[in-house]
Structure 1
Amino acid sequence: MTKSISFYHKTSSIIFVIVSFSLLFLPIFSSKDFREENETFVTRKKLKEMKLINAHLRKINKPYVKSIKGPDGDIIDCVLFHLQPAFDRPELKGKMSLKSVPEIPKGHVGKKSEMKQLWNSNGESCPKGTIPIKRTNAAQISTSKFPNKYSRKDLPDAPSHEHAIGYVTGGEFYGAKAVLNVWEPNVTGYDFSLSQIWVISDLPNHPANSLEAGWHVNPLLHADSLPRLFNYWTPNGYQSGCYNMICPGFVQTNQNVCLGAAIDPISTYNGQQYDVAFMIWKDPKTRDWWFMVGSEVMGYWPSNLFTDLRDHATSVEYGGEVYSPNLGMHTSTQMGSGHFQDEGFAKAAYVRNLEVIDKDNKLNSVNNLSLLAEKPNCYGVRNEFSDAWGNYIYFGGPGNNPNCP
């Protein structure tokens, strides 16, 4: 037993000497070395990401004939029609000719309705043959991919989205029209708030196809709190598609109005109201979907962008939506004017003259309007009817309040 213990001690001593001697020749790593190496890795990752973003910016920020800087700081580029992002899509490269405006739906009232924006408020304009495109920056590229746009179909999987809307479903719809008044709701953090119309194909076991247009306040996308004109499209349940012209899809034909640009003037509480008509409809001949704001025909979404919307829509929606990733108490982001629907005209937001378009390209007043508000103590909706406004809704709310903790 004594011999074994002695051998054990000798062996241990030899191993200790060898290990100690070896350690003298190993490189010494400090916490500073680890930090610098980690920072180098992060820097390389950021550089790679910025390289990809800059490459994408070069694709969508096209050469321009004229550049206009608006009073809000926006830069609007006047881009030749055939150079716009939509024509980067392979299936559209050979179709760059300027389409004639399709037949306006029967029953459309041609009353002058202007979309006024800040970028051209000083009298600036884009030359004939060009279209105005709001210049995109790196921040918009990184945020434009956030999955923060949904229809009611996606609500079970999207509790961070709340709506206060009127809707019709269960028929064949070939478009929609309504008049929305414009506000500047307070939006906090990474939230957004909007008022819009939706034209949706929402078939069972099919991803939603959706066309949407209205105004929104989206600081994450635009880095400010101004209400801005937008449209949006998705062919596959919001897995792809995008706002405005940030990715190829929508073909703009109008030189006077700019997607993504700030709207001015806006409505004031208990004061002057400013509203604009929005219409999306399907051209019976080409089957493309066209978009009109005010009295300006803006352009179209080619039908081959979609699956189910190549034919018709199955539901139409009107009203407001708030998105918030807030997981604590309810967000204080406002919807509409920030006031509840029961306050009525000049105090609550409204959508009036709700109409749908049938297969004969005819406008019809909405019948059998249903209402939805997931959290009516936060954001609510009510509908009414008058000879002047037809079917209409008031909607909105302040978000967080004593009844909406």
Structure 2
Amino acid sequence: MKERRDIRVILVLSYIFLATRAHGARITKGRENVSHILTYQHVNKTIVVEGGDTYDCVDVYLQPAFNHPLLKDHEIQMETSSFPIGLNAKSSIQHVASEAHLSIVECPTGMVPILRNSRMDQTLAHNMFQVNNKDVQVEEAGIKYFHDLYGVRATINVYEPKVKKNSGDLSETGIQIDNGPKGHVDSIVVCYSVSPSSYGDSFARFHVSWRNGMLDKTCVDHDCPGFVQTSHNVGLGGRVQPVSVYNGPQYVINILVFKDPKTNNWWLAYGEENKPVGYWPSSLFTRLSDKGKFSFWGGQVAGPTASSDSPQLGSGHFASEGYGKASFMRNIQTVDESNKLVTPNEYDNLVGTSDFRKYTVDGYEVNNHGMHIYYGGPGNLV
């Protein structure tokens, strides 16, 4: 039980910084950096997508990533040198749920879409607060795994859990790969999240983040330099659509993060066709430049009231309700040192929840369909 209660994996710490308001907090100027980037770079085209999000199409060689001092002379890698071996193996339950889509922004070839975050600017304006960890409450449910890792993969059921609008909390589901000692962890996270306090809406939005533990800094999407996008039409920070309906149609996103064996860059691909989105250059990291040592698959709620007045996680229903009612992850795999996709050793996993009264994990199994789990719950919104 101690191991279960010790699951305290922060998936997207910087999102907590964006969404959380606390006494004694100090204002940061992170958003000013984004405005500066877009002001001084050549914007080829501006596109407003459904829902009101505004994207600027920026030359791929002038995107925010190259404002990072470590990437000044970086030579962009436009394609992966290879994909993990075994990626084309098809699951017999592949089409039980339909594939959801990330926000598609039709920038011209050679450009990448950068979210202007106008909605966030309007709703948060001057309310961007940075807080200490002691101000942040965290709850989660899922699988954690300690092993040498060169990639992680999963098919993720997409819902829009309920989060109180003015709570400052968020609810998110995703995959994570880490390396480093406590307090100095390098991390990569890919997830969807619902964060009304950040975006002024309750939509599921797709995000990527990375952290250099030595520098004690976490970045989300393009909000600060680091992630190099190569896709000209995937809008980070945009909506995931459609989303699943309780006891109705189910939708998923397929996510793969893996280390390129030739360049050592960490690539992100999505969808059944594993379309590359971009990569994190190996030079951004201290310990992840070599390999990962920890992975997490599951969901998390975080913020100033995430434990005391917890939002929903996943579908908002307990794991025991099963398919079509509880959220699930399947096709859970890792990439080994031979660049092969493998199923994690089920006896080395730690499966559990931080508070079984609010969130549960069930249906954990490894069979012909791979490794899979059900997870989630109502929190305090019962």
When normalised by structure 2's length, the TM-score is 0.81
**Alpha-carbon distance between aligned partners in 1 of 2:229 and 2:200, rounded to the nearest angstrom:** 24
Residues 346 and 238 (structure 1 numbering): CA distance in 2 closer, same or farther, change over 3 Å? farther
After TM superposition, list the pairs within 5 Å mapping 1:299-378 onto structure 2: 299-326=278-305, 330-367=308-345, 368=347, 369-378=349-358
The answer to whether residue 212 in structure 2 is matched with residue 212 in structure 1 is no
Report the CA distance between 1:183 and its aligned residue: 0.3
Q: Tell me what 1:16 maps to.
A: none
Q: Tell me what 1:195 maps to.
A: 173
Q: Secondary structure at the match of 1:347?
A: coil
* CA contact 2:156–2:254 (8 Å) conserved in 1: yes
Q: Secondary structure at the match of 1:91?
A: helix
CA shift digits 1:196-215 (9 cap, x unpaired): 00101143x56111100021
Q: Tell me what 2:247 maps to.
A: 270
Report the CA distance between 1:339 and its aligned residue: 0.3
Q: Tell me what 1:292 maps to.
A: 269
**Alpha-carbon distance between aligned partners in 2 of 1:334 and 1:228, rounded to the nearest angstrom:** 16
Q: Tell me what 2:67 maps to.
A: 88
Q: Tell me what 1:76 maps to.
A: 55
After TM superposition, list the pairs within 5 Å mapping 1:138-153 onto structure 2: 138=121, 146=130
Q: Tell me what 1:227 maps to.
A: 204
Which one has the largest radius of gyration?
A: 1
The answer to whether residue 108 in structure 2 is matched with residue 127 in structure 1 is yes
Task: Look up the equivalent residue of 2:63 and give its one-letter code.
Answer: Q
* CA contact 1:87–1:96 (8 Å) conserved in 2: no
**Alpha-carbon distance between aligned partners in 1 of 2:131 and 2:204, rounded to the nearest angstrom:** 21
Task: Look up the equivalent residue of 2:208 and give its one-letter code.
Answer: N
**Alpha-carbon distance between aligned partners in 1 of 2:178 and 2:127, rounded to the nearest angstrom:** 24
Of the structure 1 ranges 52-61 and 159-168, higher mean CA displacement relative to structure 2 is found in: 52-61
**Alpha-carbon distance between aligned partners in 2 of 1:251 and 1:243, rounded to the nearest angstrom:** 12
CA shift digits 1:8-27 (9 cap, x unpaired): xxxxxxxxxxxxxxxxxxxx
Task: Look up the equivalent residue of 1:176 and give its one-letter code.
Answer: V
Q: Secondary structure at the match of 2:66?
A: helix
Report the CA distance between 1:79 and its aligned residue: 1.2
* CA contact 1:168–1:317 (8 Å) conserved in 2: yes
Q: Tell me what 1:41 maps to.
A: none
CA shift digits 1:320-345 (9 cap, x unpaired): 00013128x83241000000000010
Q: Tell me what 1:382 maps to.
A: 362
**Alpha-carbon distance between aligned partners in 2 of 1:52 and 1:168, rounded to the nearest angstrom:** 33
* CA contact 2:30–2:223 (8 Å) conserved in 1: no
* CA contact 1:208–1:238 (8 Å) conserved in 2: no
Q: Secondary structure at the match of 1:241?
A: strand
Of the structure 1 ranges 94-103 and 291-300, higher mean CA displacement relative to structure 2 is found in: 94-103
When normalised by structure 1's length, the TM-score is 0.77
Report the CA distance between 1:97 and its aligned residue: 3.7
Q: Give the structure with the larger helix fraction.
A: 1
**Alpha-carbon distance between aligned partners in 2 of 1:140 and 1:248, rounded to the nearest angstrom:** 21
Q: Tell me what 2:21 maps to.
A: none
* CA contact 1:379–1:399 (8 Å) conserved in 2: yes
CA shift digits 1:199-258 (9 cap, x unpaired): 01143x561111000211112322211001111111117931211110000000011211
Task: Look up the equivalent residue of 1:358 and give its one-letter code.
Answer: D
Of the structure 1 ranges 130-139 and 333-342, higher mean CA displacement relative to structure 2 is found in: 130-139
* CA contact 1:77–1:133 (8 Å) conserved in 2: yes
Q: Secondary structure at the match of 2:241?
A: coil
Of the structure 1 ranges 221-230 and 235-244, higher mean CA displacement relative to structure 2 is found in: 235-244
Unmatched runs of 5 consecutive residues or more in structure 1: 1-48, 149-153
Q: Tell me what 1:136 maps to.
A: 117
**Alpha-carbon distance between aligned partners in 2 of 1:50 and 1:201, rounded to the nearest angstrom:** 27
Q: Give the structure with the larger strand fraction.
A: 2
Q: Tell me what 2:161 maps to.
A: 185
Unmatched runs of 5 consecutive residues or more in structure 2: 1-26
Two-structure CA RMSD over aligned residues (Å): 2.7
* CA contact 1:215–1:230 (8 Å) conserved in 2: yes
Residues 351 and 237 (structure 1 numbering): CA distance in 2 closer, same or farther, change over 3 Å? farther
Q: Percent identity?
A: 34
Match of 2:101 among 116, 120, 125: 116
**Alpha-carbon distance between aligned partners in 2 of 1:249 and 1:227, rounded to the nearest angstrom:** 23
Residues 401 and 69 (structure 1 numbering): CA distance in 2 closer, same or farther, change over 3 Å? closer
Report the CA distance between 1:96 and its aligned residue: 4.5
Residues 143 and 278 (structure 1 numbering): CA distance in 2 closer, same or farther, change over 3 Å? farther
Report the CA distance between 1:94 and its aligned residue: 2.1
Task: Look up the equivalent residue of 1:173 and give its one-letter code.
Answer: L
Q: Tell me what 1:26 maps to.
A: none
Report the CA distance between 1:184 and its aligned residue: 0.5
* CA contact 1:82–1:96 (8 Å) conserved in 2: no
Q: Secondary structure at the match of 1:297?
A: strand
Task: Look up the equivalent residue of 2:149 and give its one-letter code.
Answer: F
Residues 115 and 201 (structure 1 numbering): CA distance in 2 closer, same or farther, change over 3 Å? same
* CA contact 1:136–1:246 (8 Å) conserved in 2: no
Task: Look up the equivalent residue of 1:65 and give its one-letter code.
Answer: N
After TM superposition, list the pairs within 5 Å mapping 1:152-171 onto structure 2: 160-169=137-146, 171=147
**Alpha-carbon distance between aligned partners in 2 of 1:84 and 1:108, rounded to the nearest angstrom:** 30
Q: Secondary structure at the match of 1:207?
A: coil
* CA contact 1:144–1:221 (8 Å) conserved in 2: no
Task: Look up the equivalent residue of 2:294 and give its one-letter code.
Answer: S
After TM superposition, list the pairs within 5 Å mapping 1:246-285 onto structure 2: 246-285=223-262
Residues 65 and 226 (structure 1 numbering): CA distance in 2 closer, same or farther, change over 3 Å? same
* CA contact 1:324–1:331 (8 Å) conserved in 2: no
